[in-house]
Amino acid sequence: MVTLRIDGRTIEAEAGTTILAAAKKAGLRIPTLCYLEGINEVGACRVCVVELKGSKKLVTSCNTVVQEGMEVLTASPRVRHARRIAVELLLTQHDCNCPTCPRNGNCKLQQLANALGVRDVRLTKDIPGQRRDESTPSIVKDPKKCIMCYRCVSFCDKVQSLGIWRISGTGARTSIEPAFGKQLGESDCSFCGQCVTHCPVGALTEKDEKDKVWDLISDPDKITVAEVAPAVRASWGESLGLLRKIATPERLVATMKHLGFQYVFDTCFSADLTIMEEATELLERLGLKDSRAGVHHEQPAGEGVVSLESNKRSGTLPLFTSCCPAWVRFARTQYPELLPNISSAKSPQQMFGAVAKTYYAKILGVPAEKISVISVMPCTAKKYEAGLSVMNQAGTGRDVDLVLTTRELCAMIKEEGVQPERLAEEKFDSPLGVSSGAGVIFGATGGVMEAALRTAYYLVTGKNPDPDAFKDVRGLDGWKEAQFELPGRTLSVAVAHGLGNARRLIEALKQGRVKYDFVEIMACPGGCAGGGGQPILLDDDEITSERSKVLYALDNRASVRFSHENPAIKAIYRDFLGEPGSELAHRLLHTDQSRWEITTCRRKKVAHAADSD
């Protein structure tokens, strides 16, 4: 242990600890801007500077290690002056048109300027002249707001393993952009949106579609149908200042009805639908008997560790989940040989759009063209997914017309002046709003795996397992493994969240170091609960865990905890789809990921990699 003094207090810290970490552990706050623990500790912003007794220079606390007998001042006149100058310098290169910025009121730079008393920028402005990059359907880059903190660069490289953002140029010409001067839509970006949630300012944002949604709500010739993703119910109240006990799913329904949505449904319904299709596909690949029909699914040749050759023969095992479009896009660009291993089941968002414009249109007795489907997602990649040309099974152009992030929905609530706490709770509309607890936990890492195993066990045995029998796949470890017993088979499964962990898992598979039957991958750390479209809370590192706890609590309280027991799921198969894996189910609920467009930039089009095989 090292003993030092910070602002007159004697502190003990482990050797190798930074001044910032030691101060935080002691309950002392040092402001930061570019800092991300273990990811971006470069001291680029110099907001975290402190004074060391006996030293002429101020040092950055985020990457200066404590020393025995060190005396630190965190708020001396020199330090306060230096921090103000640092923020003022950042403001000279920042477009300070705050009222029109989507991060207004939730901007780290704005927060620091206010806290440090920066009321004027006395230095000459030198704002970068690059154009906005709007080449993707998911993410917008505004270089005039970039403060060169490098958080996006570090997170994409160290956590997501893609390294899309690069430091380009030198000196005053330095900028952050995709490699080789490409637009984002030309890159291998997964559109996960983690760069957006980790940007401290408004340089990276989701592509805003709120005005288009308002137009649909106001159109008298349209029936507006909203679907709300599982993870949204755990986060929507955060940026509105609502307590979790107030920000219930039912109050969210009431709030959205107040905004003008005619029907508010639950994507957990289509998550249950996804489980029925994916669990059926898993049994087929495993060659296990389905107790419902008494048939045996013959296992194709080629079982074993994933390799290009086995994929060309059959693409059998392991089966990878498919509900995360950022993960699918990652696989499409980084590991195209894996595509046959990815489940053909669509994501819950896209399944919902397809059945809303077919099954539900039939219930209402209206043509599919009259229904507009707006999804509310914790994800920026969902905007990309909804716009894919293959997602048009209802023949209206798009099965899901528009996608709002959780942040965009909250902005609409604020814009309309709705006070959710004053509204009486309302249930999701029926039948596409009826769901199980298994559908709810889709929003947490490991949730898809757990939900699928609950139903797979039932399909094989004809009996329900303990709903919590598969909870070993829960938790925030980046790569989890477990084994479960099914009759006639020991099932080896794995769960990874964060694309860097996904890459490590895939490389281990390719090298033969591990072998699995079923793998769940979510692009965002923590799964959808930590999605790129979720509310951005400054300085709250534990929020993803808290959101996941909300989802598991909802599952635990649910009257139905198995997807196959959802009465609305039973009804849609009985009255419309037939059975899981039927011809109609395949047409509406499945997709060929090799046909997904990769390049989204208008100025350049490239052939699909799979099409050139």
Give me the pLDDT at residue 292, please. 59
Give me the pLDDT at residue 46, please. 96
Buried b (16+ CB within 10 A) or exposed e, 374-396: bbbbbbbbbbbbbbbeebebbeb
Give me the pLDDT at residue 538, please. 84
Give me the pLDDT at residue 601, please. 67
Instruction: Please write the tens of the pLDDT for every residue from 34-67.
Output: 999 999 999 999 999 999 998 999 999 999 999 9
Q: Which two tokens stand for residue 360?
A: 């539900």
Q: Tell me the C-alpha distance between 112 and 32, whole Å.
A: 9
In contact, 188 and 163? CB cutoff 8 Å: no
CATH topology for 210-268+349-422 is Rossmann fold (3.40.50)
Give me the pLDDT at residue 240, please. 96
CA nearest neighbour of 199 among 127, 101, 74: 101
In contact, 138 and 381? CB cutoff 8 Å: yes
Instruction: Please write the tens of the pLDDT for every residue from 454-489.
Output: 999 999 999 999 999 999 999 999 999 999 998 878
By CB neighbour count within 10 A (0-12 exposed, 13-18 middle, 19+ buried), where does 28 fall? middle
Give me the pLDDT at residue 394, please. 93
Give me the pLDDT at residue 602, please. 53
* The dihedral sign for the CA sequence 120, 123, 124, 126: negative
To the nearest whole percent, how much of the chain has pLDDT over 70?
A: 93
CA nearest neighbour of 588 among 598, 578, 601: 578
Q: How far apart are the first and last CA of the chain?
A: 60
Owner of token pair 């200066």: 64
Position 128 confidence tier, pLDDT thresholds 50, 70, 90: confident
Mean pLDDT across the chain: 92
Question: Quick one: CATH architecture of 2-96?
Answer: Roll (3.10)
Q: Establish how many alpha carbons lie within 13 A of residue 154's alpha carbon, considering only the half-sphere containing its beta carbon.
A: 17
Give me the pLDDT at residue 288, please. 79
Which of 87-91, 93-97, 272-276, 291-295 is the least confident region? Answer: 291-295
By CB neighbour count within 10 A (0-12 exposed, 13-18 middle, 19+ buried), where does 177 fall? buried
Instruction: Please write the tens of the pLDDT for every residue from 193-228.
Output: 999 999 999 999 999 999 999 999 999 999 999 999
pLDDT of 359 over the 50 cut: yes
By CB neighbour count within 10 A (0-12 exposed, 13-18 middle, 19+ buried), where does 602 fall? exposed
Q: Tell me the C-alpha distance between 242 and 414, whole Å.
A: 13
Position 608 confidence tier, pLDDT thresholds 50, 70, 90: very low
Give me the pLDDT at residue 308, please. 32
Instruction: Please write the tens of the pLDDT for every residue from 497-551.
Output: 999 999 999 999 999 999 999 999 999 999 999 999 999 998 777 899 999 999 9
In contact, 72 and 78? CB cutoff 8 Å: no
CATH topology for 139-206 is Alpha-Beta Plaits (3.30.70)
Pairing of strands 263-266, 223-228: parallel
Position 610 confidence tier, pLDDT thresholds 50, 70, 90: very low
Determine the length of the chain.
613
Give me the pLDDT at residue 600, please. 78
| Domain 278-346+435-595 top-level CATH class | alpha beta
Q: Which two tokens stand for residue 571?
A: 């009804």
pLDDT of 315 over the 50 cut: no
Domain boundaries of the chain, sorted by first residue: 2-96, 139-206, 210-268+349-422, 278-346+435-595
Q: Tell me the C-alpha distance between 272 and 521, whole Å.
A: 18
Instruction: Please write the tens of the pLDDT for every residue from 414-454.
Output: 999 999 999 999 999 999 999 999 999 999 999 999 999 99
- One-letter amino acid identity for 309? E
- pTM of the predicted structure, to 2 decimals: 0.92
